[in-house]
Amino acid sequence: MKIETKVIHAGIHPDPQTGSVMTPIYQTSTYAQSSPGVHQGYEYARTQNPTRETLENNLAALENGYGSVCFGSGLAAMDAILKTLKSGDEVVSINDVYGGSYRQLKVIFGKFGIESKFVDLSDAQNLKKHIGPKTKLIWVESPTNPMLQIVDIEAICKIAAEAGVKTCVDNTFATPFLQTPIDLGADLVLHSATKYLGGHSDVVHGVVICKTKEDHEAIKFVQNASGAVPGPLDCFLILRGIKTLHLRVQRACENAEKIAAFLQGHPKVEKVYYPGLPENPGHQIAKKQMRGFGGMVSFDLGNDDAELCRKVLEKTKYFLLAESLGGVESLIGHPASMTHGSIPKEERMKTGLTDSLIRLSVGVENIDDLIGDLEQALEVL
Ligand SMILES: *Cc1c(COP(=O)(O)O)cnc(C)c1O
């Protein structure tokens, strides 16, 4: 099955009782048993829910994994992965990482004796010198948030595997339509399904996709034991969103490529970060491991000037000023004070995340309207 068919059919079957084409929302906390311990595979809804199960089967198929496990948010999904580690273990993470992921690694798990190092992985060979005897997990994003750096996933996974270390790829920005990390050697894939998978800015949700049965069982154990499960309505909304993933992401990529080119030629814009630009340092690797360059574009107005940014951010009409990304509507944001506010400035500056950086999540609106909106907003400078 090709991905455009998988998004609609993989793991999804009409309801056997009624023929309902849409997966029903099983809004129940428990299931009737005919005799103690005699049931139809469902006992209690933290442990099993048919709506969630259908979504998990669909997501596992999309990412070419053995199985997937869904959670109430992307960060709850990450929490479950990290809970498979133990005190004394170490995580090596890419330094340009989502702010909430940084905070969870550093503040929450650091407190329980799981140390994290944040390192530059723009050259995959760099990873070699950071893997030590305590390293148990490599954490990468590609493209990264918000600098849209490209990491050579295949090279990273190979170095990690040779050292007996697992790799988790946060695939939120790329989506399985553009990139399937398990095919490149990853052991685990994480999504904030809040973003492109849901796609309509109406639900918070997360998922871990596992390459092996063993990892799937380990994460499922944490899901049941820690309990950060999503509700069935939320699972339904993600299932519905995924059905148009390919159409939405394709249009977002087309729009983003045109916007990146427009910004590149704009006199007030100092620098554009987009892996689709031929001069972007990650362009060749992106071409190799992705099927498109994605809908996220960042650009810098220069001089580390937050005030300049504020003027533009207050002026756009279609690009709504908001956290999050991956919805049908275009969003604009200021990473330094919004999504990445939890990362200290000296850490941020190492990756080029200045106070004058603006991040766009390009939606599926008409491209002329979007460019016109940015054009009029940049006129305030
Ligand atoms: C939003 C996001 C997360 C966190 O997901 P939530 O659903 O908000 O908990 C993790 N990684 C990336 C790349 C994100 O954009």
Instruction: Provide the whole-model pTM.
Output: 0.97
Distance from Cα 187 to the centre of ligand 1, integer Å: 19
For residue 191, the surrounding DSSP H or E stretch is strand 188-192
CA gap 25, 232 in Å, rounded: 6
Let me know if the fold of 3-242 is the same as that of 246-378: no
Q: Whose CA is nearest to atom 5 of ligand 1?
A: 74
All structural domains of the chain with their residue ranges: 3-242, 246-378
In short, whether 75's Cβ falls inside 6 Å of ligand 1 is yes
Contact status, residue 361 vs residue 198, Cβ threshold 8 Å:
no
In testing the pocket of ligand 1, which one of 79, 145, 147, 235 has its CB within 8 Å of the most ligand atoms? 145
Query: Backbone phi, then psi, for 274, in 5-degree steps?
Result: -155, 120
- The number of the ligand 1 atom at minimal distance from the alpha carbon of 193 is 7
Q: Is the pLDDT assigned to residue 342 strictly greater than 80?
A: no
Active site residue 348: no
CA gap 64, 377 in Å, rounded: 42
> What percent of the chain is modeled with pLDDT above 70?
100
Q: What is the mean pLDDT of residues 132-144?
A: 98
Structure token digits, residue 331: 């969003």
24 contacts: CB under 8 Å, gap ≥ 6:
15, 50, 51
Tell me the DSSP string of 90-112.
Answer: EEEEESS--HHHHHIIIIIIHHT
CA gap 313, 317 in Å, rounded: 9
What number does CATH give the domain 3-242? 3.40.640.10
User: pLDDT confidence of 109, banded at 50, 70, 90?
Assistant: very high
Q: What is the mean pLDDT of residues 39-55?
A: 97
Report pLDDT for 103.
Answer: 94
Report pLDDT for 167.
Answer: 98
In short, whether 192's Cβ falls inside 6 Å of ligand 1 is yes
Structure token digits, residue 344: 């200290």
User: pLDDT confidence of 221, banded at 50, 70, 90?
Assistant: very high
Report pLDDT for 362.
Answer: 98
Q: Whose CA is nearest to atom 1 of ligand 1?
A: 192
In short, whether 175's Cβ falls inside 6 Å of ligand 1 is no
Q: Is the pLDDT assigned to residue 68 strictly greater than 90?
A: yes
What CA–CA distances, in Å, run from 21 to 16, 18, 126, 233, 236? 10, 9, 49, 16, 12
Q: Is the pLDDT assigned to residue 372 strictly greater than 90?
A: yes
Which option is the CATH number for 246-378: 3.40.50.720, 3.10.129.10, 3.90.1150.10, 3.40.50.10490? 3.90.1150.10
User: pLDDT confidence of 341, banded at 50, 70, 90?
Assistant: confident
Which among 235, 238, 207 has a CA at the least distance from the CA of 78? 207
Q: Is the pLDDT assigned to residue 137 strictly greater than 90?
A: yes
Structure token digits, residue 274: 């987009």
In short, whether 74's Cβ falls inside 6 Å of ligand 1 is yes
Distance from Cα 379 to the centre of ligand 1, integer Å: 32
Report pLDDT for 240.
Answer: 98
CA gap 56, 75 in Å, rounded: 17
User: pLDDT confidence of 365, banded at 50, 70, 90?
Assistant: very high
